[in-house]
Amino acid sequence: MVTSFGVSLDSATAAQGAAPVSGRELQPSGRRAWQATYIRRLWVSDTLVVIAAVALAQWVRFGDSGVLQTTVFPQTLSYTLVSGLLVLSWLATLSIFRTRTVRVIGSGPDEYRRIFVSTVRLFGLIAILSLLFRLDLARLYLAIAFPVGLIGLTVSRWAWRRVIARKRSRGEFQTSVLVVGGERSVRNLAESFERGTADGYRVVGTCIPGHTGERNDKIIVGGRDIPVFGDERDVVHALGFCHADTVAVTATEHLGHEGMRTLAWDLEPHHVDLVVAPGMMDVSGPRLSMRPVAGLPLIHVEKPQYHGAKKFSKLSFDFVFAILALVLISPVMIAAALAIKLTSRGPVFYKSERMGLDGKPFPMLKFRSMVVDADKQVASLLTANEGAGVLFKMRDDPRVTKVGNFLRKYSLDELPQFINVLRREMSVVGPRPPLRREVEAYDGAVRRRLLVKPGITGLWQVSGRSDLSWDETVRLDLSYVENWSMVGDALIIGKTVRAVVAGDGAY
């Protein structure tokens, strides 16, 4: 039987594995159930981490005893009471800064940022109160509780994210999305969600404005069928078939102000989230702000910042990180240099011309992993190129030495690039350093990669490395250029360590 959806009710029901429902039965209890359970577990883990950090600080500083001298109260206070107050204040601060809201948990850097900001502000407030009321708080006590608690909270959230990522890779903990928009926007949104599997969004159906049922009643994306349930007037009815818990609207210009308001009102009884996809790619939250103008909610997109305080903080971070890294990895670098020198003829280091900030060339240092004069053999190997776009890559490159193969697998050949960081030619995190011939082939959009310094690691390196397509490497690098931040850099460094240890995508 064909309905106003333009599809067969029987076939649509079979495709989704359920019969249509109506009214409040549309409530997406599955997603809300796992989110509520997850938040409760975060409460428990946060409480245990904070208690452990404060207890450790008290035990290290005072042992089993300790009193706080104060000029405010006539009597001294036990540090056990002080620790209890600190634990309660810490947990309250985490709640005030909404570190466990469903909008931030599970993916993205905002969860980590809120934990950091809330903790720093709490201890800053404690320092101010100590000065105002002359509280003789032990500095070592706070100096232990602050970093241990902050690191513990961050690590515990990271561990919970890994649990969610594994669940989502198996198809659990998903957010089902019904898209209201044209076929092209549905494809773009579905492909974006497929790339971000850790975010758990999945398009399960669509309502296309103007759909009459005369065209194909499904859209194929990545080998998966996405049913078309009608036009923009059939959204609420379509929820009974696809059981979506989120409606994403891309066709705002077609619905208009009245249509969007009516849709929001219609979805209220069903406890379904309504989101608007503005069609902007790879622009992160810090650059977006919502400002009501003349009764209209306008999204303002700030320009990416490459100068001023952010530039100084990145330069400082690069310098300190490179110094510490070179000190810590010096034994590994000495061992690598000896292995290269004793097993093959030629220099230990290899200098490769790369294009840096604003397209200026510089010599990038690497441990030599190939035979001498390997560059001269490229022309004869072009037919076996496995690289994406203008990149030259071979999985079994005959020019690579035995030692070089090991160095490449674990990215040890790139360790000398910390010297390039100290020479201010590279950053610790940034786009992949390109060759001159690659830059000469860039179009206008790709050249934006040159607005920041290339990095030892970056989004491209932690998202598949040599296994990515050229378009995907460009998209990731441009995304970094548009949205770089210190929190993002820290997350990329953490992911780099995991990718290097696993040896994923390196050859």
Angle, nearest 10°, between helix axes 9-16 and 235-242? 50
What are the backbone angles phi and psi of residue 7, rounded to the nearest 5°?
-135, 165
Residue 78 has pLDDT above 60, yes or no: yes
pLDDT band at 225 (very low <50, low <70, confident <90, very high): confident
The pLDDT of residue 10: 40
Out of 57-66, 158-167, 223-232, 435-444, pick the least confident.
Answer: 57-66
User: pLDDT by residue (tens digit) across 239-258?
Assistant: 888 888 889 888 777 787 78
Mean pLDDT along residues 323-328? 94
Residue 21 has pLDDT above 70, yes or no: no
Average model confidence (pLDDT) across the chain: 79
The pLDDT of residue 144: 92
pLDDT band at 326 (very low <50, low <70, confident <90, very high): very high
The pLDDT of residue 190: 85
The pLDDT of residue 196: 65
> CA angle 25-28-33, nearest 5°?
120
- For residues 228 and 203, the answer to whether their CB atoms sit within 8 Å is no
> What's the CA gap between 44 and 28, in Å, rounded?
25
Q: What percent of the chain has pLDDT over 90?
A: 25
Residue 177 has pLDDT above 60, yes or no: yes
The more confidently predicted of residues 136 and 308 is 136
Assign residue 505 a region: left if phi > 0, alpha if psi is -120 to 50, beta otherwise? left
The pLDDT of residue 71: 46
The more confidently predicted of residues 69 and 58 is 58
User: pLDDT by residue (tens digit) across 6-20?
Assistant: 333 344 443 444 444
User: pLDDT by residue (tens digit) across 400-451?
Assistant: 888 988 888 888 899 999 999 999 999 999 888 888 888 887 777 778 888 8
| CA-to-CA separations, 106 to 36, 121, 160, 162, 271, in angstroms, rounded | 13, 23, 8, 9, 21
Pairing between β-strand 273-276 and β-strand 246-249 as defined by DSSP bridges: parallel
The pLDDT of residue 23: 38
Q: In Å, how far from its chain's centre is CA 92?
A: 26
The pLDDT of residue 393: 62
> What's the CA gap between 90 and 43, in Å, rounded?
12
The more confidently predicted of residues 124 and 24 is 124
Q: List CB contacts of 28: < 8 A, sequence separation 6 or more.
A: 176, 243, 244, 245, 271, 272
Q: List CB contacts of 79: < 8 A, sequence separation 6 or more.
A: 58, 62, 65, 66, 67, 68, 138, 141
Residue 169 has pLDDT above 60, yes or no: yes
Pairing between β-strand 175-180 and β-strand 246-249 as defined by DSSP bridges: parallel
* Residue among 500, 318, 287 nearest 420 (CA): 318
E strand intervals along 131-192: 175-180
Tokens 């000469």, located at residue: 440
User: pLDDT by residue (tens digit) across 354-364?
Assistant: 999 888 999 99
Which amino acid would we find at residue 438? Answer: E
Residue 133 has pLDDT above 50, yes or no: yes
Give strand pairing partners of 457: 429
User: Can you list the domains of the chain with their CATH numbers?
Assistant: 9-22+171-301 (3.40.50), 32-169 (no CATH), 309-502 (no CATH)
The pLDDT of residue 299: 72
The pLDDT of residue 14: 38
pLDDT band at 324 (very low <50, low <70, confident <90, very high): very high
The more confidently predicted of residues 287 and 429 is 429
The pLDDT of residue 27: 43
Mean pLDDT along residues 386-408? 73
Q: Which long-range contacts (CB under 8 A, 24 or more apart) does 89-94 make?
A: 89/122, 90/50, 90/54, 90/119, 90/122, 90/149, 91/46, 91/47, 91/50, 93/118, 93/119, 93/121, 93/122, 94/46, 94/118, 94/153
